[in-house]
Structures are given as structure tokens and as C-alpha cells.
Chains A and B, each alone.
Chain A
Amino acid sequence: MGKGKVKLVEGGLRHDGRRLDELRPITISVGVLKNANGSALVEYGRTKVLAAVYGPREPQMKHILLPNRAVIRCRYHMASFSTYERKSPTLSRREIELSKVIREALEPVIISELYPRTSIDVFIEVINADGGTRTASVTAASLALAEAGIPMKGLVAGVAVGKIDGYLALDIDEVEDMYGEADMPVAIAPSLRQITLLQLNGVLTPGEFTQALELARKGVEVIHEMQKEALKKKYLDVKVEE
């Protein structure tokens, strides 16, 4: 990590003018695809992620099925034009790891026992990458699952906290991730107070870790409110019933 090469925090503000505890502008749209059973498009600043859910369905490969629950299949994939330099469209080792981490961020909230011997497929396409793609993916995937009507214990939202120039900062972008000292993506199901994704790339003191987690929790709560708003706007405010 290149320390001091780029000044990331000056006068309490970050390179894009945000305060340390400020999220990027977030937009959420649900139901953006016709074919998918559920879909969502989530933007954290310039990061843009599309998630689609198919299922519960019978997959081609029947041997993966489980007798007591649905299996979750998850693919995190970056479009070749999503990064600064063109990325090969084949799955990298990073994308394979993130597919697993994101699936395991969703597993605890999906009530999979209701659909034994089926698969629920979550496909995530990163359209533009500017840091925080895995956490935006979790936020989008959880909305796509909700739109697909798959019973869930709660919505999950994610955000990354970083350490830049010695300060903890919420929702770091690519520049801050690249030149900062630490990156800690977190996903939480706020209504259940469960952490379903937690990674750390970098070094934090135990005290900093506690603070970082608290910062993430506050960020996630804001995003969770936006998730609820987006679902209500699309599915609950449309018509006055009775």
C-alpha cells in the first residue's frame, strides 16, 4: 500500500469532498429486468451493480440438489468494461472468492427449507466498479430476492469501512481502497442484528476495529432504510386497497 503518495484526507474531508462518516450518493431501483423473477440495480456513487434472481427452479445439474432445502447458486461477475483497464470476461480467482462470500452473506437470511430439491440462483453483474462492489452486490441481491418473493428472515445491506491516512472512513471508493491502509467490507441484516459478511484487508487495532464496525453499522442502517423505501415505493404504495 502506497502511503502518503496520495493525500486522502485534508481538513477532515476526503478527496471527493465527503466527511469521514458520509456515504456516497446511493440509488436503488427494484424490478429492472423483465425475465428475472427478481432484480435490482444499486449504485454507490460510481459503483453500479445489477443483481438478478431466478428460481426456485430445477437446475440442469440435479446432483447439487439437497433433500431438505433449496441450494443457493451465486455468481459475482465483473463486466469487461467495468474496470479502468479492460478485464477479461472469464471468472478470476477474486470473482470466485467473492461469489462464495456473497452467497454466504445471503444464506443466513434465505428461508431455504421451504423449497427442497430446487435451486435459487443469484446472478450479479458489476457494471461499473469504483470500490465497494461486493457490498453493493449484497445490497442488490437481497432486494432481488425480495422481489422474487423468496421468503427471507430479513434484508441484508452492505458497506465497506476503510482506514485512510490514519482515519476510519465509511463507504470507501476505489482510490481510497488502493491508497488506504485497510478495507473492511461488512454486510448486516439490521432487523436481526446479524453480521453476514465480514472481511478485512489491511491492519487495524482492536479499538479501531470496534469503531469501524460501529461506523459500518450506522451506514448499513441508512442503506437498509433506503432498501425498505425502494420496495415500498414499488410494491406497496401503488394502489390503495379496500
Chain B
Amino acid sequence: MIRISKLRELTNMDAVPGIALCVIEEFLPGNWVYEDQGVVRAAVVGKVRPDLRSRAISIRPSVKTPQLPSKGDVVYGLVSILYEELAIIKLFAGESGRRYSNSFTGLLHITQVQEGYVRNFYDVLAVGDVVKARVLNNTTPYSITIKEQKLGVVMAYCTVCGSPMKKHRSDTLKCLKCGGIEKRKLSVNYAIIKVW
């Protein structure tokens, strides 16, 4: 059992990596802490947050912790290479539009484009397109999907003249300059994109 005085001392305490917080009998290790020989210690700079309900102790980081995509996240990516059954996509920002400090590789398999059969990638994507995608795993290279309605291409440039394209029908885009029409797996949010 944890004593009230100890709880009070821990709550909101300043933490830097390495400082001992409590023993494992008092609290289990939560986020941004680790356990070593029965002692729970801080792993980052931040404020200590003990939680009586879950009996876990965590740190709320005061520094910017690493930004990496994780399973279930919606991310923005740039189509870099298309193979027959695989597209390589550079993931550069999270759903909020905030850019990662470094971009990560995403892999899109042709079966993850939409329900039903897709003959080849050239009917659904082009190099240089910006896509909104969902991440399916936790390590790089990330597997991604664009099956959902809100996922898919959000910004595209004409493969002939390089100008921005406008939504034409639910699965086609029209070039503003040369009038060319191209097929894509579009997001319902086409052209609505905020990245910073």
C-alpha cells in the first residue's frame, strides 16, 4: 500500500531520466518510466503522474518526445515509387498536419487500396500524389491502407503537365490546365489538406 504522504510527494514531482520514483509494490510502471531491480525510475524529463485507479505511475513529458507513426494513426504521405503490387510512400506528417521531423517509409500493398479487385497501381495512384493513409503496424517500414472513404489521394498533379488537378467524379480528376482526365483512389476530403 502507498502512504498518502508519498502519494502527495510524487504527484507533480519534477522528473529527469534516472531518478527513482517508487518501488514496484507501490506503483506499476506506466508511460515514460521503466523498472529496474524492483525500482520504478523516470525515463524522460517531465512531471510525475501517479494514478491510483490503475495503480500505475507515469511521467507527463515536458520535452517533445519522438514523433513516429504508430498502429491506427492516420498519416499523410507522398507517393515515391510504384511497383506492380506495391507502392512506396514517404510518411511525412500526422493527421493534425504537423510534420514529423524526419519522414518514414510506408508500404502500400495493392490489396489495401480499395474493396474489390484493382488491376494495377496506375489506375489508382501516381508518383507525386499526396495520400492520407492509416498505419497498420508499429515499426518501419510501416504497412498502410487507404481503403476507407476518407483515405486515399488528397492532392494530385497532372502526369502530363504537372498542374494541380480538380475532382471530376468520385474516382477521376481533371487537370486545370490541359484538361486531361486521370483515375485515382480519391479521399472524400480531396484538396482539403493542411500541412505545416
- Do any CB atoms of chain A lie under 8 A from CB atoms of chain B in the complex? yes
B112 close to chain A: CB less than 8 A: no
B172 close to chain A: CB less than 8 A: no
B66 close to chain A: CB less than 8 A: yes
Q: Mark A117-160, 1 if CB is under 8 A from B, else 0.
A: 11000000000000000000000000000111111111100000
B45 close to chain A: CB less than 8 A: yes
Contact A111:B41 (CB < 8 A) given known A118-B68, A152-B18: no
Residue of chain A at shortest CB distance from B31: A151
Instruction: Count chain B residues whose beta carbon lies closer than 8 angstroms to a beta carbon of A.
Output: 31
Q: Mark B121-147, 1 if CB is under 8 A from A, else 0.
A: 000000000000000000111000000
Within 8 A of A (CB), among B162-182: none
In Å, the complex CA distance between A117 and B68 comes to 12
A115 close to chain B: CB less than 8 A: yes
| Contact A146–B66 (Cβ < 8 Å) | no
In Å, the complex CA distance between A56 and B70 comes to 13
B75 close to chain A: CB less than 8 A: no
In Å, the complex CA distance between A148 and B45 comes to 10
Q: List the B side residues contacting A85 at CB < 8 Å.
A: none
| Contact B140–A153 (Cβ < 8 Å) | no
Q: List the B side residues contacting A228 at CB < 8 Å.
A: 16
Contact A147:B63 (CB < 8 A) given known A155-B16, A228-B16: yes
Q: List the A side residues contacting B47 at CB < 8 Å.
A: 236, 241
In Å, the complex CA distance between A242 and B141 comes to 40
Q: Mark B16-59, 1 if CB is under 8 A from A, else 0.
A: 11111000000000001010100001011111000000000000
Total A-B pairs in contact (CB under 8 Å)? 96
B85 close to chain A: CB less than 8 A: no
Interface of A is mostly: loop
Which of B34, B36, B103, B139 is in CB contact (< 8 Å) with A151? Answer: B34
Within 8 A of A (CB), among B91-120: 101-105
| Contact A146–B101 (Cβ < 8 Å) | no
| Contact B34–A111 (Cβ < 8 Å) | yes
Within 8 A of B (CB), among A199-242: 227-228, 231-232, 235-236, 241-242
In Å, the complex CA distance between A222 and B36 comes to 24
A92 close to chain B: CB less than 8 A: no
In Å, the complex CA distance between A192 and B37 comes to 11
Which of A57, A149, A191 is in CB contact (< 8 Å) with B44? Answer: A149
Tell me how far the C-beta of A97 lies from the nearest C-beta in chain B, rounded to whole angstroms.
27
Q: List the B side residues contacting A189 at CB < 8 Å.
A: 18
| Contact B139–A116 (Cβ < 8 Å) | yes
Q: List the A side residues contacting B149 at CB < 8 Å.
A: none
B189 close to chain A: CB less than 8 A: no
Tell me how far the C-beta of B48 lies from the nearest C-beta in chain A, rounded to whole angstroms.
11
Q: Mark A34-50, 1 if CB is under 8 A from B, else 0.
A: 00011000000000000
| Contact B66–A153 (Cβ < 8 Å) | no
Q: List the A side residues contacting B32 at CB < 8 Å.
A: 151
Chain B contacts to A: CB under 8 angstroms: 12, 14, 16-20, 32, 34, 36, 41, 43-47, 61-66, 68, 101-105, 139-141
Question: Would you list the 6 A-B pairs with minimal beta carbon distance, nearest first?
Answer: A154-B18, A149-B65, A191-B18, A57-B102, A151-B43, A152-B17
18 new A-B pairs (CB below 8 Å) besides A37-B66, A117-B139, A146-B44?
A38-B63, A56-B68, A57-B102, A58-B102, A58-B104, A58-B140, A115-B66, A148-B63, A148-B64, A149-B45, A151-B44, A153-B41, A155-B18, A191-B41, A192-B18, A227-B16, A235-B63, A236-B14
21 CB contacts below 8 A, A to B, read A55-B102, A56-B66, A57-B102, A58-B102, A109-B17, A116-B139, A148-B63, A148-B64, A148-B66, A149-B63, A150-B44, A151-B34, A152-B43, A153-B17, A153-B34, A155-B17, A228-B16, A231-B16, A231-B45, A232-B14, A235-B62
